[in-house]
Amino acid sequence: MAVGYTFEPKILGFLCNWCCYAGADLAGVSRFQYPPNIRVIRVMCSGRVDPAHIFRVFSTGLDAVFIGGCHLDDCHYVTQGNYDALSMVYIGKKLLEHIGLNPERLRIEWVSAGEGIRFANIMNEFVPRIEKLGPLGKGEGIDEHELKFKLEAVRKLIPYIKLVQSERLRPVKTEEAYNKFFTSEEFNRLFKELIADKLALSQIMLLLRERPHSAREISEILGLNLSEVSRHLHVSARNQKVETEAVDNDKIDRIINKHQGKASSLVQVLLKIQHENHWLPLDVLDRISKKLNVSLSRVMQIVTFHKTFSLIPKARNEVHVCTGPSCYVRGSTHLLDTIQDLIGIKPGETDPDSKFSLETGNCQGCCNLGPEIVVDGKHHGRITPDKVKDVLKNYE
């Protein structure tokens, strides 16, 4: 007699050492009953859970991810890391929804060390819900190859998403402010503007690495609008990213060898590659990490800390507008508005022709020259809105 198949979801939990892990331990000691479908990884803070961890879990075929932390405003660290975890989960849910997966597969809850019964109750509600959703991908009607492809596209975009999260998606640290912002139309607009387009481009690039495709084929495979695909291909071609390597591996090796391949020369190597290539792709950072025997997390820590480095493509000419106190009182805001109107982009963006990238900075160290702009390292002092056009026309 055949035995019917019963789906048993596989869930991975990242639990805060100080609160949720202790709460889960209390649930076990107190013999509170809950399904044994969760496997636990203990972390020192829920804020240490990286988006890359979450999407790596889904890439291995597990059905859900649970994150448990201290109650908001009760974090054991001054950084209040559980707010970072909360924003990361909101973004992660949006990404899951965008690639066709049910966002309920990712969940975050706050459990204190004395709330063993609360942890058990959450598991008793969460596990049946995932059972109802079914296996990852199959429950949403996505085949295995397509699912792996979409998750890989997200994974490659993680460094950029973390940068966007820290720079543009960080409201005031209160529970009300976070819940209001991440459920607002403003967040939806920013997600579409800053992340959705990049994700579409990431999927297109992965597809083209498999074999050549026409714009119409890409549109049909990815379910994207044909005009949208054409736009992405056009911009990519101009940025010289289609079917080309960002930096020649031999060139990277020559730069590393010039510094004797020492780990202590990491910053100098990064600066040289940034100067020659105008940005630092993830595959390049991975190669640097291996060549210098420095962990990739350490490389990313340096790259994301210093504004000199960029994880997204920069144009041939970088325009920096000083917004420090001295330049501000001398009219740098009007100067910035004029530059934005002239080149058609906002700070942090690159124009479609890859001619100009625009950045702002607190101080360029030449306060007596304010208001000031720096173009490709050349300082232009006492610039007024009516003079800036004459400065920029000299750069091609």
Q: Is the same domain home to 96 and 23?
A: yes
Rounded mean pLDDT, 99-120: 96
Give the pLDDT score at 243: 39
The pairing of beta strand 38-43 with beta strand 11-16: parallel
Give the pLDDT score at 36: 94
Q: Is the same domain home to 190 and 295?
A: no
- Asked if residue 140 has pLDDT above 90, the reply is yes
Span 346-388, pLDDT tens digits: 887 777 667 888 888 777 677 777 788 888 878 888 888 888 8
Span 33-82, pLDDT tens digits: 999 999 999 999 999 999 999 999 999 999 999 999 999 999 999 989 99
- Could you give the 3-state DSSP secondary structure of residue 230? helix
Distance CA 173, CA 152 (A): 31
Rounded mean pLDDT, 175-180: 93
Q: Is the pTM of this model over 0.85?
A: no
Which structural domain, as residue segments, surrounds residue 199? 145-238
Span 262-317, pLDDT tens digits: 888 899 989 888 887 777 877 788 888 888 888 888 888 888 888 778 877 777 78
CATH of the domain at 287: 1.10.10
CATH of the domain at 345: 3.40.30.10
- Asked if residue 143 has pLDDT above 70, the reply is yes
- Asked if residue 251 has pLDDT above 90, the reply is no
User: Listing from the earlier edge strand, what are the strands of the sheet with 106-110?
Assistant: 38-43, 11-16, 64-69, 106-110
- Is 31 a domain residue? yes
**pLDDT band at residue 235 under the 50/70/90 scheme:** low
Distance CA 334, CA 219 (A): 42
Rounded mean pLDDT, 161-167: 86
CATH of the domain at 26: 3.40.50
Give the pLDDT score at 244: 41
Q: Is the same domain home to 107 and 159?
A: no
Rounded mean pLDDT, 245-274: 80
How far from chain centre, in Å, is Cα 74?
Answer: 26
Give the pLDDT score at 104: 97
- Is 311 a domain residue? no
- Is 48 a domain residue? yes
Domain count, the chain: 4
